[in-house]
Amino acid sequence: MTLTTPSQAATRRKLSTSKAMVEAIAHEMRRDPSVFVLGEDVGSYGGIFSSTTGLLDEFGPRRVLDTPISETAFIGMAIGAAVEGMRPIVELMFVDFFGVCMDQIYNHMAKIHYESGGNVKVPLVLTTAVGGGYSDGAQHSQCLWGTFAHLPGMKVVVPSTPADAKGLMISAIRDDNPVVYMFHKGIMGLPWMAKNPRSVEPVPEDAYEVPIGKAKVVRPGSDVTIVTLSLSVHHSLDVADELSADGIDCEVIDLRSIVPLDTDTILESVGRTGRLLVVDEDYQSFGLSGEVMARVVEHDPGMLRAPAGRVCLPDVPIPYARSLEYAVLPTRDRIRQAVRKVVNA
């Protein structure tokens, strides 16, 4: 098992995020016979967001299992398999469905290692689709990563690019802890969704790991630190490009992991810029945006030269109507206004 860093220079081959995820899973299934996939429509359908397309053809129905619509049953089955030494990847089709299976996730998956005194490992990856923007209503559009990050015992990763999606998937599969892998539908590069231009990018062909718990400065800047993740990384980068024409130099941090949270990278950046904006598609209150601000203030409240800002989903259910949905999502317009306010420009 090698820990390698992707050599971007040698890579020209491009993949969409969904294909990069599949490639990562296939790499690990070829390498390790204990890795298998289960969930609703992961087999012949290939995952409703194409996160498992083609795996059934290569690995067959004994390693790619279509399950009935009973999340408690099949996530419980995956936990049992992990406890017995397998390395399952189990898909919760939409994170919004967590309500029916949360006992398995946070009372079993997340706690078995602790309650066994560290004697029993649960090397499981729980993949799940998150996010809105395509009129799927209040029960199919949430992010909810703050909910999972709040409960101890699980790592939580949230890639935003094809290359990170592959490397974080491989890291998640090889990790002996339960890892929740949350992919935004808007980053997958799906033909039938509004396409984000960065959802098709060069991806190294070999297996490589992106370390869990390490954020990435995706755009260096000096005036304000934008801490963000998932699809909002791309909106923030677009806004940063626009505002550079007005002389506002934004640094953009893609968190990539929420648990563990890379506090050092946040502090180092805010220490330089003195200004902080958090862009988070999850609900505003009691979540990630407040946690990021708390980490800064706990370290040194004097780091901030201006009040911190945040662009999140207001604490309302996500509307179905497109105009209303886009009124609550962290759009480029809202991010741009918030940056201007934080830098007082």
Q: Which residue among 1, 2, 9, 12 contacts another protein (CB under 8 A)?
A: 12
Number of neighbouring beta carbons within 10 Å of residue 285:
12
Comparing CB distances to another protein, the nearer of 193 and 297 is: 193
Identify which of residues 205 and 291 has a Cβ nearer to another protein in the complex. 205
Is residue 47 a contact residue for another protein (CB under 8 A)?
no
Of the two residues 155 and 184, which places its CB atom closer to another protein in the complex? 184
Three-state helix/strand/coil letters over 242-277:
HHHCCCCCEEEEECCEEECCCHHHHHHHHHHHCCEE
Distance (Å, whole) CA 293 – CA 312 = 13
Q: What is the C-alpha separation between 158 and 212, in angstroms, rounded? A: 10
| Beta carbon nearer to another protein, 194 or 245 | 194
16 binds another protein (CB under 8 A): yes
Applying CB under 8 A, among 86, 102, 200, 303 the residue interacting with another protein is: 200
Interface pick for another protein out of 13, 84, 99, 344 (rule CB under 8 A): 13
* CA separation for the pair 213, 221 (Å, rounded): 22
Under the binding rule (CB under 8 A), the answer on residue 192 touching another protein is yes
Rounded to the nearest whole angstrom, what is the least distance from the CB of residue 252 to another protein in the complex? 24
Instruction: For residue 285, give the 3-state DSSP assignment.
Output: coil
Region of 57-65, 111-119, 184-192, 301-309 interacting with another protein (CB under 8 A): 184-192
Tell which one of 88, 123, 186, 189 touches another protein (CB under 8 A). 189
Q: Which listed residue (40, 71, 209, 325) is catalytic? A: 71
Tokens of 116: 């066994």
- Is residue 195 within the footprint of another protein (CB under 8 A)? yes
CA distance 112 to 118: 8
Among 99, 118, 191, 247, binds another protein (CB under 8 A): 191
Q: Is 108 a catalytic residue?
A: no
* 117: helix, strand or coil: coil
How many residues make contact with another protein (CB under 8 A)? 11
Over the window 143 to 182, marking each residue x when it contacts another protein by CB under 8 A and - when it does not, the resulting string is ----------------------------------------
Instruction: Name the helix (H) or strand (E) containing 64.
Output: strand 64-66
Which C-beta is closer to another protein: that of 53 or that of 263?
53
Distance CA 104, CA 340 (A): 44
Q: Annotated catalytic, 140?
A: yes
Distance CA 64, CA 330 (A): 36
Stretches 32-40, 114-122, 190-198, 325-333: which one binds another protein (CB under 8 A)?
190-198
Separation between Cα atoms, residue 59 and residue 121, nearest integer Å: 25
- In the complex, minimum distance from the CB of residue 185 to another protein, in angstroms, rounded to a whole number: 15
Catalytic residue among 113, 140, 184, 234: 140
By CB under 8 A, tell whether 299 contacts another protein.
no
15 makes contact with another protein (CB under 8 A): yes
Interatomic CA distance for residues 277 and 228, integer angstroms: 8
**CA-wise closest residue to 274 among 302, 294, 247:** 302
**Should residue 62 be labelled a site residue for another protein when binding is judged by CB under 8 A?**
no
Kindly state whether residue 14 participates in binding another protein, applying the rule CB under 8 A: yes
Stated as kind and residue range, the H or E segment containing 25 is: helix 17-31
Cα 117 to Cα 55, 149, 345: the distances in Å are 36, 22, 54
Residues taking part in catalysis: 71, 140
Point out which residues bind another protein (CB under 8 A): 12-16, 19, 189, 191-192, 195, 200
